[in-house]
Amino acid sequence: MSEPLALTGLPWPVELRTHPRARRLRLALDEPRGLLRLTVPRRVSRSAAIDWARRQAAWVEAQLARIEPAEPFVAGASIPFDGGEVLLRWDDAAPRTPCLAAAILTCGGPYDRFGDRVARWLRDEARRRLVEETFILTARNGIAHAPVSVGDAGTRWGSCSVSGAIRYNWRLILAPPEVRAYVVAHEVAHRVHMNHGPGFHALQAALYGGDVGAARLELRRIGPRLKRVGRG
Ligand SMILES: [Zn+2]
């Protein structure tokens, strides 16, 4: 058994196990560990097994949707935020603009718009922090500043256009700071290298200053939950 692999298109890392008696390729969810277990018959090559696993993305998403409930923004819910958990609290006497104190996000106003106000606050918070974190990293490393925006585009956590504009998924505010910092380092490295070549990887590692592989795996592990929060 080897280190779990992060495969493009699959939300969880994949752990390969060669099984002498296995007759066909099989993929299974290991929920407690947040891993996909790929059983590989002896006669199937590693690269063929990986190709096959990549094509199971739709099946994996369907399984995850079934086992993991939606997490709407409702009073009493707990959501991941910046490495911790934050309790959502509704108080009709409190201001409509949510206020975070001691891991409790309090929001007033009519309850039917509670979820929308929480979502807008998280998005604003994501933009504020990601703009700041990107600015600090570019400034420290002598890289020209970039316009930064946030959105919720599909499966990507960040992107950098040829013009140098960086766009992040606002859901990164739900991730621990070290995971967010990895995405920021990745996109800032694209300000210098518009590819994933050796120069890019060296710069990404230098900008991040930590274990890039571990951060990438962690993002893949927690990603499905981050994408469920606020939906349903
Ligand atoms: Zn990239």
Write out pLDDT tens, residues 163-214: 999 999 999 999 999 999 999 999 999 999 999 999 999 999 999 999 999 9
If one counts every other C-beta atom within 10 angstroms of the C-beta of residue 47, the result is 8
The per-residue pLDDT for 227 is 86
The per-residue pLDDT for 20 is 87
Residue 187 Cα to ligand 1 middle (Å): 6
Task: List pLDDT tens digits, range 28-67.
Answer: 998 777 789 999 999 999 999 999 999 999 899 888 877 7
Residue 178 Cα to ligand 1 middle (Å): 17
What's the whole-model pTM score? 0.74
Q: SS3 breakdown of the chain: % helix, strand, coil, rounded to 5?
A: 40, 20, 35
Residue 5 Cα to ligand 1 middle (Å): 17
Segment 12-24 mean pLDDT: 89
Between helix 177-190 and helix 198-208 the angle, nearest 10°, is 140
Residue 186 Cα to ligand 1 middle (Å): 6
Residue 209 Cα to ligand 1 middle (Å): 17
Residue 25 Cα to ligand 1 middle (Å): 30
If one counts every other C-beta atom within 10 angstroms of the C-beta of residue 126, the result is 23
The per-residue pLDDT for 11 is 80
